[in-house]
Amino acid sequence: MRAFGYDKNDLEAETPKALREVTLALTREELDSVIAFLQEVRCKWGQERPQSHWHFRDWATGWKPSEPDFIIACDG
């Protein structure tokens, strides 16, 4: 598994940085939502025309632009 990200204060960055650690500070409800998102991605991964990546922001109801996006990318 590889992890990448952007600094929220660097709005002009074009390339994400490789991360050695990722921390998600979540409420129980947010954790449940992330788990449901990951399960849906897992189900869709094996479809005939798989996507290359999925955005949590496109999936989660109530997502706000002030919140970070969570992206799952196919890696093989």
For residue 18, the model assigns a pLDDT of 93
Residue 21 pLDDT greater than 90, yes or no: yes
For residue 48, the model assigns a pLDDT of 59
**Cβ-count burial 5-34 (b if 16+ within 10 Å, e if not):** eeeeeeeeeeeeeeeeeeeeeeeeeeeebb
Q: What is the pLDDT of residues 23-61, one digit of tens each?
A: 999 999 999 999 999 999 988 887 756 678 899 999 998
Q: Which domain, by its residues, includes 43?
A: 3-73
Confidence of residue 66 (pLDDT cuts 50, 70, 90): confident
- Whole-number Å distance between alpha carbons of 36 and 70: 13
Residue 16 pLDDT greater than 70, yes or no: yes
What six digits make up the tokens of 18?
A: 């490789």
Q: Which helix (H) or strand (E) holds 55?
A: strand 53-55
Tell me how many domains the chain contains: 1
